[in-house]
Structure 1
């Protein structure tokens, strides 16, 4: 009997108190499907570490999110913020990392990578503004480089968002709120021929609390045709998104303290951006009791024009320091995997998976000096063709009733071809890495698992840095950087459900990077970071108090330092988050009522390598309440930053120069969290 089926057989044999709302169905293939009513799905027997999980669409629906990317905060220990206009990619924090706009957090939507390589503004750029919550069926997450199936950007964590093939009910949503917020969305599916057609449309406007409103305008759509169930069928999906916004970027603390500007003012009122994304993808799956196969392919077109100003009048006292970052790209790729189940090896039956992936990015981007979004001069213009391929093999074996293992190895090869307007920064480079991984899972007693995870991972660097010989802005000589940077992870963990209706996981981890090399899109240069080490502890606890009431608490602490000790510069890693946490109370289907309250803690960060300047910690409280007016009509009220706390979404420490200042000033620059706001939503089903 396979490990999954063994797990659910043990659930059926358990006392009723331990599995109060579990229904198990036998499929024609011999596999078992499990429905866990009014409870979070158990991961015992499924997960290979204490930090893997799956969140259902219903659980995500009960969360209060200000912007689409915040659904990722369902991943314990992950913080999502914003330091600019609403249409810009969010800022992510996890496991002692300021992940910038996505570096070291691999993100996928329907088997398509969201991270954008060699991006104009930041490596691994992860813009999730195209997500439509009404069609999200499930979100899976993991942390650490412990799976051969995961490659680039997955060292800190990985998140996969899956859209549904069919909807049980059509839904129309209309929302309105403070700060000129408005949203309308329609999602439905219907049976056509032998398959199902799913479609969704969304339109959004939001100003935010800023003196010069964001004036964020978004139009979004999804169209999918699928045949058969998700495990034995195929689908073709088209998506399209377009957004435009004004930006209120981070501001210097000194200007707020002396009264020159308010918390929600800007220094440069012409910052902003425009973005567009369209994609076409296809997926095919076949699943039997003996094997499972999957094929997927995609083509994605992304466009971005981003205008920012972080130093004001430091470089150009006349025109200001605004810079523009255009990025045009077409990303194409595929994935193929085949799993052979119960293959006898050394007298034991194991599952073997062989996988192959490929990706190509054809990118045109650059860096311009601009004024009021008008180009004054070009700092650099580049055409990058970045190609990669990966082959992996993974084995999952149950050695005894209490011990199983998952072992794998992955090899990745990258090729970078750069044509720059600066001849010295043109050329080709290649890189290759082998990444082994091993997970041991021990079940010492009922309803409990212990984990030992070891593995190597990596992130790619911006392709321009692999061939660069001169700094595009200063003309000074620079040394090319490696295309791939390896990480090494170690982790021990525990997951238990011994207490009825309670799920608890605990883990201790360490993650080393050879170097934190990053492309600094704001200046068009690549900076070589020092080797680093992070270790930390994470705990996640979920308790289903009653069929309609649940309580969960997540907490994490990380210790991040550079490994090459430098007493003069300091060993702290700038902006590395230390402690984070969430505390939530959720009510679901208490008669006509449902709702949630969620308290989020965002801990302090060192803003300088010597820890001389630190950010403050913050607490924010969000929540919503919903009432079922009729069986098909629901009214919801959402509240953000209920206590109206004046806290920062992000803090940096660097030099800038305001108009009238004689010289640059080192200062904290921050972006305020949004003030208290309310939104009302009417949801109609049919």
Structure 2
């Protein structure tokens, strides 16, 4: 290795340390991921250089902690619980479904309780986030969470994600960051796609239970820029008695010019999928031999969905600072057929229902970051605006075997929002940095319901402070203190409704439009042992109203105020340039904040989440990964008398990179063949012959048995 290459350039160190920088957004994260990922294995943190990313193997390089930098001088406030994960690290993991790549975020559980085309269910910091109620997810600057959605508030379907295109994933936990608004109280995840690939990729994969996947990614110079094209097709049946018969088509076309900080990109995406669904089933049906563990009580459940988008981003860097802008328009549609209670509501025709959601949404963001000084102290200011408008048609219909029987509701909603944010970051001394900012959001909705009494207009606004403090580093250790307010919006139909249209979605009393949250945390990050980054965080989050999953309707409903406090411990250890270890633990206490005879426990709130992993490989030759994930038991009702079982899963991967650009890898999912549950609920359902008021029972969706998948990839 030449001397010039053996020491990292200052630009490399700057990009690595800037990778978690909030104000630079997608542009800085993308630049950091692409350059730092190529150099991380060779970085060595010196006393003269700012602390940078942990070194690691090429197969998983790129977990970058919360120390950030601007312009080579001002290191800004983040949090001990924030970070960036490179695409290489994310793709080193064996996964069952696309959304599971987000389990690279420490403490985040991604699971499924239905067919593979449906949105995942998320758990983080003692939250059952349902399909995305309090975790804000974006892909390439476009929001994934859908508000006023047919199936659940904040519904975030990530099945269109192509993991091999991901350049970087930025995550935050807690409501402390000015760019994070709706649905971000527990956390936020920003996923950025690459502008180009060094080599074209052709990939094919086959596996158990009818798994087949084909993927092609190609990029080439075009004019003064680069054209990137990707296409994906996948089928999957699963182990279910009624096969999923998932069929998925996915495509991305992007044209980009310039650099990450001085350039633009235009991107088009298209996604379509259809599937059958084996939803959660009652334990008594399995115990009595009515169905098997992988059986279903309604073989006609399932759905279809489509997503088509056009987006653009632009950035410019000059003496006045950095200006960035992005805009998007998305056309989205979904049909879901679910039957959770069987014959409880209708003992003759059954309880299956169809949820329909069709919408066009558009929006964007403009931000500017500029530097200055205050009495000689380096200072930075960030200012920005965000906007989004959804034109929605949303409906709920009673069905039998997917055949229409009656309409419960068929509504049209126009929902718009705007936000303004400002943050000042100041470096007082070498060991003291502060961040002070606020975010103001305003919402408007116009609901035209088929039940006239439920039509109406609603408005609401909220202003939240965002504060941060960083002390250190002393002895390679920094102390982070963060405080902030957040919120989630509620379904606009529940805000204007005055009567119950025979749907459990609505309470007779109107729901608040915006529900505030308040969070705080104190964290410690240490890098005193070469190659090891460890962080401990104590956090608290209060919510004015918890949204809880309701099994009889498949939606979330507003509930009582809650308080959570807990501790997180995260570790990343690059043992050698080709071997890395990691381990995370989150323990949370979640309780309702008011008194009620029903009890104080928050249903589905996880107490313990843990994970561990080992990754090896560098360049050519053997590579592999082993991942362990523990999802602890949870209370299923308020008095804690019914609890779920814990779930422990082990996935593995081993492969070989040949010098001709061909690679072969073998994934073994659920390596120990654990007979565990993906998710468990407790509610009342009725099977044929049971009492009219039904039976309260655990309903579970099992983990898939051991599955093997073989992937052959070529790079040329």
The aligned runs of 1:54-453 (5 Å cut-off) are 54-288=84-318, 291-341=321-371, 343-453=372-482
Cα distance in structure 2, aligned partners of 1:537 and 1:521: 30
Cα distance in structure 1, aligned partners of 2:15 and 2:166: 29
SS of 1:254's partner is helix
Deviations 1:615-670 (A, max 9, x none): 01111100110112333000000010011111000000000000121330000000
Residue 43 of structure 1, aligned match among 57, 61, 65:
65
Deviates more, 1:37-46 or 1:602-611: 37-46
The question of 1:22 aligning with 2:43 is answered yes
Cα distance in structure 2, aligned partners of 1:349 and 1:67: 45
Q: Cα offset for 1:516?
A: 1.4
Aligned residue pairs, count: 668
Equivalent in the alignment of 2:610: 581
The question of 1:647 aligning with 2:688 is answered no
Normalised by the length of structure 2, the TM-score is 0.90
5+ unaligned residues in a row in structure 1: which ranges?
10-18, 25-30
Q: Cα offset for 1:178?
A: 0.7
Residues 173 and 186 in structure 1, CA contact (< 8 A), matched pair in contact too: yes
Equivalent in the alignment of 2:567: 537
Residues 324 and 370 in structure 1, CA contact (< 8 A), matched pair in contact too: yes
Cα distance in structure 2, aligned partners of 1:377 and 1:524: 18
Cα distance in structure 2, aligned partners of 1:547 and 1:602: 31
Q: Cα offset for 1:526?
A: 7.4
Q: Cα offset for 1:43?
A: 2.7
The aligned runs of 1:501-516 (5 Å cut-off) are 501-516=531-546
SS of 1:533's partner is strand
5+ unaligned residues in a row in structure 2: which ranges?
1-9, 19-39, 69-76
Deviations 1:66-102 (A, max 9, x none): 1110111010000000000000000000000100000
Q: Cα offset for 1:7?
A: 10
Residues 570 and 610 in structure 1, CA contact (< 8 A), matched pair in contact too: yes
Deviates more, 1:346-355 or 1:316-325: 346-355
Q: Cα offset for 1:231?
A: 1.6
Distance 1:607 1:477, change over 3 A: closer
After the TM superposition, which segments of 4 or more aligned residues of structure 1 sit over 3 Å from their partners?
A: 4-9, 31-42, 474-477, 517-528
Distance 1:522 1:32, change over 3 A: same
The question of 1:620 aligning with 2:637 is answered no
Q: Cα offset for 1:444?
A: 4.2
Cα distance in structure 2, aligned partners of 1:519 and 1:79: 17
Residues 323 and 369 in structure 2, CA contact (< 8 A), matched pair in contact too: yes
Q: Cα offset for 1:181?
A: 0.5
Equivalent in the alignment of 1:28: none
Cα distance in structure 2, aligned partners of 1:667 and 1:8: 50
Deviates more, 1:451-460 or 1:516-525: 516-525
Q: Cα offset for 1:528?
A: 3.4
Distance 1:340 1:319, change over 3 A: same
Residues 408 and 503 in structure 2, CA contact (< 8 A), matched pair in contact too: no
Residues 361 and 386 in structure 1, CA contact (< 8 A), matched pair in contact too: yes
Normalised by the length of structure 1, the TM-score is 0.94
Deviates more, 1:119-128 or 1:38-47: 38-47
Cα distance in structure 1, aligned partners of 2:661 and 2:211: 24
Distance 1:441 1:7, change over 3 A: farther
SS of 1:570's partner is coil
Q: Cα offset for 1:603?
A: 0.3
* RMSD after superposition: 2.3
Equivalent in the alignment of 2:72: none
Residues 141 and 159 in structure 1, CA contact (< 8 A), matched pair in contact too: yes
Q: Cα offset for 1:524?
A: 8.9
Equivalent in the alignment of 2:598: 569
Residues 603 and 617 in structure 1, CA contact (< 8 A), matched pair in contact too: yes
